[in-house]
């Protein structure tokens, strides 16, 4: 409806000079500076109608749209400020979390390092204790083997003495026999050692 009204009014404004010229039936063409009251009247009427339409419909509608746009921009700006404030809060929280995570990671690393040192010390102490125990056991075994060897050597000496004594008793010995028996005993002892 508004569009039709505007179309009719704009057509009247466009054709108003032609209608006024048709109403004035003067045969001669007026000059540029010629004053025509009829034409002036219709120009004022057209200007008034256009001004009235602009003042009543168009300008309030434009002002309303501008106010709505301004409110939308202000609302968007307020939302952007709120989002920026939230982002700053989240950034601070994130930085705090990262700082805490770094502190916690350092603490865990230090604890792991200390636990590793303690474990290494325990392992070293256990190894040293085991080495001492093995050394003591080896010393005891060596002592036992030495005593066993001494006992075997005594037994062997006794056997050699018995052997030498039995040969002496078989016959009476001369100096050469004594030397020969001593050599045989030494040879027999050397054979028993091997």
pLDDT of 16 over the 70 cut: no
How does the average pLDDT of the chain come out, rounded?
A: 81
Look at residue 185 and tell me if it is in a domain. Answer: yes
Tell me if residue 100 falls in helix, strand or coil.
helix
- Higher-confidence residue: 193 or 109? 109
Task: Give the dihedral of Cα atoms 118, 119, 121, 122; nearest 10 deg.
Answer: 120
Q: Does the residue 71 lie in any domain?
A: no
Question: Does residue 164 form part of some domain?
Answer: yes
If one counts the domains in the chain, the total is 1
CB 20 within 8 A of CB 39: yes
Q: What angle do CA 38, 39, 44 make, to 5 degrees?
A: 100
Residue 185 near residue 164 (C-beta atoms within 8 A): yes
Q: What is the pLDDT of residues 178-190, one digit of tens each?
A: 677 777 777 776 6
* Mean pLDDT across 32-39: 75
Q: What integer pLDDT is reported at residue 25 of this predicted model?
A: 47
The domain of 187 spans 145-193
- For 191, phi then psi, to 5°, come to -70, -35
Q: What is the pLDDT of residues 88-131, one digit of tens each?
A: 999 999 999 999 999 999 999 999 999 989 998 999 999 999 99
Tell me, yes or no, whether 163 lies in a domain.
Answer: yes
Alpha carbon distance 22, 46 (integer Å) = 18
CA distances from 15 to 6, 52, 186 (A): 14, 19, 161
User: pLDDT tens, 131-168?
Assistant: 999 999 999 999 999 888 888 887 777 677 767 776 66
pLDDT at 174: 66
Q: Would you say the pTM of this structure is higher than 0.75? A: no
- Identify whether 77 is part of a domain: no
Residue 11 CA to residue 9 CA, distance in Å, equals 5
Q: Would residue 169 count as lying in a domain? A: yes
Mean pLDDT of 25-48: 75
Provide the phi-psi class of 172: left if phi over 0, else alpha when psi is between -120 and 50, else beta: beta
Is 135 among the domain residues?
Answer: no
The answer to whether residue 162 is domain-embedded is yes
């Amino acid at each position: 409806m508004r569009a039709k009204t505007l179309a009719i009014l704009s057509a009247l404004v466009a054709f108003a000079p032609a209608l006024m010229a048709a109403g004035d039936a003067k045969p001669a063409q007026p000059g540029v500076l010629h004053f025509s009251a009829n034409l002036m009247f219709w120009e004022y009427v057209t200007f008034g109608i256009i001004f009235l339409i602009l003042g009543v419909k168009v300008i309030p509608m434009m002002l309303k749209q501008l106010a709505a746009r301004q409110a939308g921009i202000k609302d968007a700006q307020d939302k952007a400020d709120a989002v920026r404030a939230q982002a700053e809060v989240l950034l601070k929280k994130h930085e705090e979390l990262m700082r805490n995570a770094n502190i916690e990671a350092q603490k865990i690393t230090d604890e792991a390092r200390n636990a590793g040192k303690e474990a290494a010390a325990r392992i070293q102490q256990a190894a040293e204790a085991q080495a001492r125990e093995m050394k003591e056991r080896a010393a005891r075994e060596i002592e036992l083997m030495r005593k066993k060897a001494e006992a075997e050597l005594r037994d062997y000496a006794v056997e050699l003495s018995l052997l030498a004594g039995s040969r002496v008793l078989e016959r009476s010995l001369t100096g050469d026999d004594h030397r020969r028996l001593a050599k045989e005993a030494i040879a027999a002892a050397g054979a028993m050692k091997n």
